[in-house]
């Protein structure tokens, strides 16, 4: 599928074929695409928690307003990120770069993040958002459907998956084979309303 077709055709699908399975090779292809997403300082904060256990998925659904896609989709991916990834052996993020570039960026990483918990969290969530969109577009490009979700008990799901204290929860993404057409787009703002030239 062409990139722009995937962008325009990607929709939040609510009904999935519970019998559909994604092959191991295709699943790997999806996540290999997702990790091409950009991150600040190349920190790669994202941690993709794939809920494979049917019992766990039922518990998540119970905390997620009984949304069927949480149990019926081929994959349920819980998007999380490590807010402290910037201080965990940061030289590995620049291992292939020229030494002067690596030294500069690794040296800058600490002072940029230190003591700025709000920034650490914001950067982690930004990274989640970019990876999530890449994942959904990759799925569409492979003929699959997806549904991003934030309508769940965040603290409850965090507890279910043993989310580490230095990680944040993002949305979930259900991926699989849709069996029902999505709703018509409820309303699209015009470009003139959202595009600002130079200043507000």
Is 148 part of a structural domain of the chain?
Answer: yes
Q: What is the pLDDT of residues 134-162, one digit of tens each?
A: 999 999 999 999 999 999 999 999 999 99
Is 44 part of a structural domain of the chain?
Answer: yes
Of 85, 86, 79, 49, nearest to 169 by C-alpha is: 79
Q: What is the pLDDT of residues 78-125, one digit of tens each?
A: 999 999 999 999 999 999 999 999 999 999 999 999 999 999 999 999
Q: Which pLDDT score, from 0 to 100, does residue 181 have?
A: 86
Q: Which pLDDT score, from 0 to 100, does residue 184 have?
A: 84
Is 187 part of a structural domain of the chain?
Answer: yes
Is 141 part of a structural domain of the chain?
Answer: yes
Q: Which pLDDT score, from 0 to 100, does residue 53 have?
A: 98
Is 159 part of a structural domain of the chain?
Answer: yes
Is 96 part of a structural domain of the chain?
Answer: yes
The beta strand positions in the chain, using DSSP E, are 46-50, 75-82, 145-149, 167-176
* Count of domains for the chain: 1
CA end-to-end span of the chain: 37
CATH code for the domain in which residue 50 is found = 3.40.109.10
Is 31 part of a structural domain of the chain?
Answer: yes
Domain, as residue range, for 58? 3-194
For residue 182, is pLDDT > 90?
no
Is 199 part of a structural domain of the chain?
Answer: no
Q: What is the pLDDT of residues 34-46, one digit of tens each?
A: 999 999 999 999 9
């Amino acid at each position: 599928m062409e990139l722009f077709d995937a962008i325009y055709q990607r929709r939040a699908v609510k009904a999935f074929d519970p019998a559909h399975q994604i092959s191991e090779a295709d699943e790997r292809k999806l996540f290999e695409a997702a990790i091409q997403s950009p991150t600040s300082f190349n920190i790669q904060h994202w941690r993709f928690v794939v809920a494979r256990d049917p019992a766990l998925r039922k518990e998540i659904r119970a905390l997620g307003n009984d949304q069927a896609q949480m149990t019926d989709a081929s994959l349920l991916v819980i998007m999380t990120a490590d807010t402290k990834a910037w201080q965990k052996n940061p030289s590995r993020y620049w291992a292939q770069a020229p030494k002067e570039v690596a030294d500069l960026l690794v040296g800058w990483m600490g002072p940029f993040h230190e003591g700025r918990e709000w920034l650490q969290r914001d950067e982690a969530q930004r990274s989640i958002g970019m990876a999530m969109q890449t994942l959904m577009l990759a799925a569409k490009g492979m003929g699959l459907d997806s549904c991003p979700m934030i309508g769940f008990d965040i603290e409850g799901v965090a507890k279910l998956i043993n989310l580490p204290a230095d990680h944040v929860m993002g949305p979930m993404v259900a991926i699989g084979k849709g069996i029902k057409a999505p709703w018509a787009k409820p309303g699209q703002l015009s470009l003139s309303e959202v595009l600002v030239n130079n200043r507000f």
